[in-house]
Structure 1
């Protein structure tokens, strides 16, 4: 059903809105530089594929472990200061990587430690950004800003590996790391210049208080039916996607014996689809209710996985994964926007971090299940059939659960914030 909000009534972006988005872009680009500079440095030192892969994979660990608790910090402390501190910490660590890269024989342990600490910063930045976005962006613009951030993420996922490697190769590891540090500094400066006032007095920080806040965050997810169902369904949808995505490389290169360019085309189609979905999402959220739009996105994702089951060829996989990218962006933008409108501002950091940790937790399980399925007979059909079956359950769960009525779950608490 079309919403009552008319396109012509959309508020324009404020100065705080623009600075926050530019800071997000600069900080995200900085993330991509260090993600590639550190593995290149490790490869240069060790010459080991295993050591290099470890340097890249280490970034996912903190999201699952630290991510559960990071939202407490974002809700208890000044979110702007948390984001500035995160960027400054990342900048200092990037400077440490710069120094290590200048050594003749830098110790691998120190490089891994820097990579791990850099990865630990992002779980704190994410819920703080989500909460601060709610603080400074008018509710009517939330879907558009969410779509913008999703488009940035998708575009970086699409061009990041190629552009990042070219950047590191052109400048060298130490200079790339220095530019990385400067990018985090620019992001911190932009966020620090956003003026706002948050009402209320911060409570003294105690272990008991933090534990209570964490429990309150879990309770908020559990007691709000739409959030509880949505968090579980998003995690299950991740499971469906990673059954396929975790084994795409092996499926294309080893099972189907396709050239590497085909794998690049498939992943590129997914990235391009995600960008297209990010562009379309705010137009869809302007016209339709978020609950039915979530169900549509989940259904489109499942339907896209059926094509390779019917026609198990590389071009069918390419089309399928391109449509999957569109569906993923529509789902993410709709879900994040709904969460921002329904969850009280004072607990949104905890709810966001718990939701993300739950979603990330199913990725290893999906990847392992896909690895087992791809080793059997008719691997393309089997892999996509299993993913489609799980996603069909997700679609039905979304359409029949309180998630489809999330628009009526009630407005979140009024913001105790004035932003400029």
Structure 2
């Protein structure tokens, strides 16, 4: 969840008028323009620097509790559907229904987030999410649950998420301001992944001992924590962001803004491909547990916990970085695809398990780096719409990818399904990396001599830039 002072009311340093990404310095062909000397490197801050802010501490504490409940419900929901149907495709359909509203209505959620007070929106959305958990708990504990009930609850949860996601993403800058934004985005991910370590473990115990219903009940009750945190915030300490008045064409305005910014559009396209085809872990992990290793819910929780441990490492490393580089997003996406292919071919249980840790680290690096670089490069008045587009392509592609990946997994086996997701992620990363280099007038230089930088992007025409090297980094 997230809110914003005077720093946020001015255009962001990377607003469209005065900043061009080093990755994508031109939208038309031709020599790369010379790059002016930038400001001194941003000093490295403490890993937990944004937690000094009271409102953000309240937010983070509430989110830690509700995120733990959310992960409990995710594990219980996937396992319940697999138990009711025995089908990976059914798990994929459940995932697809939960994210279908984001695909259909995600951009409108961003428009609403820019128009209204985000704290009030979050009070509504967090309450509604708690109700969905309690409803599924009542159905399951009463013994009346059927798979269509799970489908319906997943779809309703997705509708609420359409508002919750952009409001929560944009609210961060209102709580911490521009200076701490990158750190707070990284800590949000660390928070989520820490809960991912606890939630699946608790869910595994509850499912094995008592059934899925108790996990749903605890998730519903967990939303009391973020609601309490929101109500306790000091609204006078939030950074002021002028709300966008209602007018025609706001959705088209947001799309035009993004389409004219290569440093925004191409990272969004990349995370769209990876989110659609590379992040279908509920399908793959349930299939590996059930059909490859012939284990139960405890092993499924273990696999999720290992991925969470890797993701937590990735989030904490991201919190220490002083900048968010687009070349890091592209490189991590390539490595992510390679690791998924390697995991699909893993010859033993423990090699597969250890690769999940690495996949978690690299996957989180992609998400946090893309998220923070896009937020830092966006005008605050556009942030809700831009972040809704980011979330729409990242999770909204799941309704398209999950059923397809589920069908491949059911038809050709878990290993082929996992390998297919990794191959698409790798191909997308390579293609978009080449596009960013071309748009920026760059080429890859390889120098294997000792003491030299072995890989670097340099201008196609070295005369345009005496230094001979440039970073794939958005100015922030």
Q: Same fold (TM over 0.5)?
A: yes
After superposition, give the CA deviation of every residue in 1:153-190 in whole Å (9 maximum; x if it has no partner): 23334442331353577788887666544432331231
- Report the Cα offset of residue 83 of structure 1: 0.6
Give 3-state SS (helix, strand or coil) of 2:41's partner: coil
Compared CA separation, residues 383 and 18, structure 1 to 2 (3 A) = closer
Matched, 1:407 2:474: yes
How big is the shift at 1:121?
1.4
Q: Does 1:237 align with 2:304?
A: no
User: Which residue of the other structure, out of 113, 126, 129, is the alignment partner of 2:168?
Assistant: 129
Q: Say if 1:337 and 1:107 are closer, same or farther in 2 by CA, change over 3 A.
A: closer
Q: Equivalences for 1:60-75 in 2 at 5 Å?
A: 60-75=99-114
Distance, in Å, in 2 between the alignment partners of 1:329 and 1:318 is 17
Q: Name structure 2 gaps, 5 residues minimum.
A: 1-37, 441-470
Secondary structure at the counterpart of residue 140 of structure 1: coil
- SS of 2:474 mapped into structure 1: helix
Please state whether the residue corresponding to 2:307 is helix, strand or coil.
helix
The residue number in structure 1 matching 2:227 is 188
Pick closer, same or farther for the CA change 1:108–1:289 going to 2, 3 Å: closer
User: Which protein is richer in helix relative to its size?
Assistant: 1
Structure 1 residue 231, shift from structure 2 partner: 0.9
Moved more, 119-128 or 259-268: 259-268
2:264 corresponds to 1:227:
yes
1:62-119 superposed Cα distances (whole Å, 9 cap, x missing partner) = 2322323211111111111111111233344555556667868689877765553333
Describe the superposition over 1:200-227 as per-residue Cα deviations: whole angstroms up to 9, x where unpaired.
4663x5xxx3x62222222222121111
Instruction: Judge which range, 382-391 or 328-337, deviates more.
Output: 382-391
The answer on 1:152 being equivalent to 2:191 is: yes
Equivalent residue for 1:297, pick from 329, 332, 350: 332
Matches for 1:2-151 after TM superposition, within 5 Å: 4-7=41-44, 13-35=52-74, 58-94=97-133, 113-151=152-190
State yes or no: 1:198 paired with 2:237.
Answer: no
Q: What are the within-5 Å matches in structure 2 for residues 275-286 of structure 1?
A: 275-283=312-320, 285-286=321-322
1:345 to 358, 380, 383: 380
Deviations for 1:270-315, whole angstroms, at most 9, x for unmatched residues?
33221221122222x22x5522322332233234246458875555
What is the rounded CA distance, in whole Å, between the counterparts of 1:386 and 1:230 in structure 2? 18
Match of 2:391 in 1: 356
* Structure 1 residues not aligned, in runs of 5+: 412-420
**Are the counterparts in 1 of residues 272 and 393 from structure 2 also a CA contact under 8 Å?**
yes
Describe the shift of the 1:383–1:2 C-alpha distance in structure 2 as closer, same or farther (beyond 3 A): farther
Distance verdict in 2 for CA 1:171–1:348, change over 3 Å: farther
Give the Cα–Cα distance (whole angstroms) in 1 for the partners of residues 411 and 139 of structure 2: 41
- Displacement of 1:36 in angstroms is 6.2
Q: How many residues align?
A: 397
- Checking the alignment, whether the CA contact within 8 Å between 1:131 and 1:348 is kept in structure 2 is yes
Offset, 1:343: 0.8
SS class of match (1:391): helix
Whether the 8 Å contact between 2:277 and 2:405 is mirrored in structure 1 is: no
1:161 aligns with 2:200: yes
Question: Structure 1's 14 and 373: CA in aligned 2 closer, same or farther, altered over 3 A?
Answer: closer
**Superposed displacement of residue 8, structure 1:** 5.4
The whole-number CA distance in structure 2 between the counterparts of 1:384 and 1:107 is 32
Instruction: For residue 407 of structure 1, give the secondary structure of its aligned residue in structure 2.
Output: coil
Match of 1:418 in 2: none
Distance 1:374 1:115 in 2: 22
Tell me the alpha carbon deviations over residues 353-373 of structure 1, each in whole angstroms, 9 at most, x when there is no partner: 212221234445545257548
SS at match of 1:7: coil
SS at the partner of 2:249? helix
Distance 2:200 2:211 in 1: 16
CA distance in 2, matches of 1:36, 1:20: 24
